[in-house]
Amino acid sequence: MRVPIVMPQLGLTMTEGSVSTWLKKPGEPVAKGEMLFVVSTDKADMEVESLVEGELAQVVVETGQEVPVGTVIAYIERPGDGIAQGAAPALQPAPPVEQSMTEAPAADQSFKPSHRVMERTDAPAASPRAKRLAKELGVDMARVTPSGASGRIVEEDIRRFAESTRVATGPHAYHRQVASGPAGAVETLAQRIIEDRIEPGSLGIYWLAQAGFVFKTPTGRIVYVDPYISDLVERVAGFKRMMACPIKAEEVIADLVVTTHEHPDHLDLDALPVIARNPRTHFAGPAECFKEFEKMGIPDDRHHLLEEGKDLSVAGIRVTGTFADHGELAPGALGVVLELDGIKVYHTGDTAYRPAEFQAAINMQPDILIPCINGAFGNLNSEEAAMLTRDAKPRLAIASHFWMFVEHNGDPGEYLRKCAELAPGVQAIVMKPGERFLFRKG
């Protein structure tokens, strides 16, 4: 039986409302008492919980759409067939709600307001879409000039402000967030990666330090590249890590882990066996890495050989091996181009500057470039990385492979300065460990 969910009346003067966030997707189970959606008003965001158990069958009203109180906004499917008796047609107001907010809800009511209300009495009035966009772009709404009715901030106001900030601070301005929760809450990077919902046309990017990155797609695919999240290098070579590790191996949940070569700050033999315990996770790397995957006992159908110029399709993710020259230190080293829900990321791995050989990767027209910049052990220095940025013409370039070890050197500030000189049309950034950058292709 389908039970209708209607827009609740959260105050005596409330006549219409909008859902700012659906906390469940169609097809997902809903427990009785579980928070189902968030209703946004000018005074507060109020979470609404379900009073029935079942499955969210249909969302009728999308986020940001204003509808009258009593309008059917969704249906929950319970065991049985058909629509619950008395259900209102989609987008048609149900009979007015006459009971006060202090009365017990009727037995067939499928929602009630949660006690978890986030007051915003000092915040400017804004549309739900504007609030969501401001949060994503890191915009302080107190600084935004409203253009909507009754002094309300609308989505276009946020976009205009963000654009003016970008212009005012130059082509290398950017918006990013570090994993953190509200006061008193604890949120780890691992939780952040899992819980983040990435919108279509976007890509969540998280830096683990050194050459390590995590990518999350709108379809929920999670890819790790060169995660160094232990102290293996100190144990085997005496190089102490200078950057704290933002995630633990046992916290990693990934569809694919890519390693570009066998050096221990790229192929972390202390962390990967722990990550490999999850049967969901696949691994891909060049020949020397492939041998180590076999030694770890990773099943044959979960580890894959990467080769220069060849494509792999793993867990719905396209990976192409690209040229890298790490000399005799790692003659089989590769770079990679990842295609993640239509967004292409070129991670150079460890490599010297070889512009002619880079051309195959450049021809793939990457949206995002991640070059090593440390200028030691045969790697690109800041100026060479900027020259590659100029040639590749990505929309976004992120400096990597610096400051992890005293012995590795690296000057990210110089990389940004050289990019401003050589590739002024590219947004070049430096992240910090545990930080998220939300890239939008459109």
CATH number at residue 153: 4.10.320.10
| E-only strand ranges, 154-211 | 176-178, 202-209
Query: Would residue 178 count as lying in a domain?
Result: no
Q: What is the pLDDT of residue 153?
A: 80
At residue 148, the pLDDT reads: 63
Query: Do residues 437 and 174 touch, judged by C-beta distance below 8 A?
Result: yes
Q: Flag whether 175 is in a domain.
A: no
Asked if residue 202 and residue 346 are part of one domain, the reply reads yes
Instruction: Answer yes or no: is 323 within a domain.
Output: yes
Phi, psi dihedral angles at 7 (to 5 degrees): -65, 120
Give the mean model confidence (pLDDT) for residues 143-152.
Answer: 65
- What confidence score (pLDDT) does residue 183 get? 38
- Dihedral sign for Cα 161, 165, 166, 168, please: positive
Which of 20-34, 167-181, 209-223 has the least mean pLDDT? Answer: 167-181
In a domain, 356, yes or no: yes
Question: Looking at the structure, do residues 149 and 113 belong to the same domain, yes or no?
Answer: no
Q: How high is the pLDDT of residue 106?
A: 38
Which pLDDT score, from 0 to 100, does residue 151 have?
A: 62
Higher pLDDT, 420 or 117: 420
Q: Which strands make up the sheet holding 35-40, listed edge to edge?
A: 67-68, 16-22, 35-40, 44-50, 111-119
Count up the domains in the chain and report the number. 3
Beta strands in 12-99 (DSSP E): 16-22, 29-30, 35-40, 44-50, 54-59, 67-68, 72-77
C-alpha angle 290-292-296 in degrees, rounded to nearest 5: 120
pLDDT for 426: 96
pLDDT band at 47 (very low <50, low <70, confident <90, very high): confident
> Can you give the pLDDT at residue 3?
87
Q: Which amino acid is at 436?
A: R
Residue-wise burial string across 86-117, b where 16 or more C-beta atoms lie within 10 A, e elsewhere:
ebeeeeebbeebeeeeeeeeeeebbbebeeee
Is residue 313 domain-shared with residue 425, that is, in the same domain? yes
Helix (H) or strand (E) holding 368: strand 368-370
Single-letter residue type at 250: E
Check whether residue 156 and residue 257 sit in a common domain: no
Q: How far apart are CA 311 and CA 218, in angstroms?
A: 22
Q: What is the pLDDT of residues 159-210, one digit of tens each?
A: 777 765 543 333 333 344 555 444 334 368 999 999 899 999 999 999 999 9
Q: Does one domain contain both 159 and 194?
A: no
pTM (two decimals): 0.61
Tell me the pLDDT tens digit for each residue of 102-144.
333 333 344 444 434 443 334 456 776 777 788 777 777 777 7
320-349 average pLDDT score: 96
55-101 per-position pLDDT tens digit = 999 999 998 888 888 889 999 998 654 444 444 333 333 333 333 33
Would you say 260 and 288 are in contact if contact means Cβ atoms under 8 Å apart? no
User: CA-to-CA distance for 4 and 73, rounded, in angstroms?
Assistant: 8
Instruction: Tell me if 214 is assigned to some domain.
Output: yes
Note down the domain range covering 165: 128-169
Distance between CA atoms of residues 233 and 12, nearest Å:
63
Query: Does residue 181 sit within a domain?
Result: no
Q: CB under 8 Å to 151, separation ≥6 — which residues?
A: 124, 125
- pLDDT for position 141: 75
Instruction: Report yes or no on 177 lying in a domain.
Output: no
Whole-angstrom distance, CA of residue 183 vs CA of residue 178 = 14
pLDDT above 90: residue 31: no
| Half-sphere exposure of residue 360: CA atoms within 13 angstroms, side-chain side | 16
- Please check whether residues 259 and 217 belong to one and the same domain: yes
pLDDT at position 174 is 37
Q: Kindly state whether residues 257 and 161 are assigned to the same domain.
A: no
Q: For residue 356, is it left (φ>0), alpha (ψ between -120 and 50) or beta? A: alpha
Residues 241 and 314 both lie in one domain: yes
Answer yes or no: are the C-beta atoms of 135 and 128 closer than 8 Å. Answer: no
pLDDT reported for residue 422: 97
Are residues 205 and 97 located together in one domain of the fold? no
CATH number at residue 88: 2.40.50.100
pLDDT number for residue 105: 37
Q: Which two tokens stand for residue 380?
A: 């690109």
| 240 and 325 housed in the same domain | yes
Q: Quote the percentage of the chain above a pLDDT of 70.
A: 80
pLDDT, the chain, mean: 83
Claim to verify: residue 285 and residue 163 sit in the same structural domain: no
Q: How many residues are present in the chain?
A: 442
Strand 311-314 with 303-305, pairing? unpaired
Strand partners, 74: 5, 59
Percent of the chain with pLDDT over 90: 60
Residue range 358-398, pLDDT digits in tens = 999 999 999 999 999 999 999 999 999 999 999 999 999 99
Rounded to whole angstroms, the Cα distance separating 251 from 266 reads 18
Residue 182 lies in a domain: no
